[in-house]
């Protein structure tokens, strides 16, 4: 199973992405995979890009899963609290 632990989120409007920031806690996550957003109804969003989010002053980087900002907003998931701590990707 592929799991992603969420630390934060942000919008990257110049590329129309909503970005989940965190770490891959299990498995592998790649472009085109589905992010499970509702375990009871099994609704998913496609990963459109996987990027490194550099924190130069802290000398570390996180992983960013980039999702469609329009779809995320239409589902009311455009804030960090809406996502919880972890998502499953398949």
- Give the tens place of pLDDT for each residue, 44-83: 899 999 999 998 888 989 999 999 999 999 988 888 787 8
Task: Quote the CA–CA distance of 82 and 37 in Å, as a whole number.
Answer: 10
- Give the tens place of pLDDT for each residue, 50-60: 999 998 888 98
| Residue 41's pLDDT band (cuts 50, 70, 90) | low
Q: Which CATH number goes with the domain that contains 41? A: 2.40.30
Structure tokens at 27: 């498995």
pTM metric for this prediction = 0.90
Structure tokens at 70: 């329009």
For residue 40, what are the β-bridge partners? Answer: none
Tokens 């996502």 locate to: 83
Q: Which domain holds residue 37?
A: 2-89
Number of domains in the chain: 1
């Amino acid at each position: 199973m592929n799991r992603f632990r969420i630390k934060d989120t942000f919008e990257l409007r110049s590329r129309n992405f909503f970005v989940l920031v965190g770490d891959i806690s299990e498995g592998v996550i790649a472009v085109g995979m589905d992010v499970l957003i509702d375990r009871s109804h099994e609704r998913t969003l496609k990963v459109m890009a996987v990027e490194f989010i550099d924190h130069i002053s802290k000398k570390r980087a996180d992983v960013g899963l980039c999702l469609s900002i329009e779809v995320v907003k239409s589902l009311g998931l455009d804030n960090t609290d809406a996502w919880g701590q972890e998502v499953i990707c398949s």
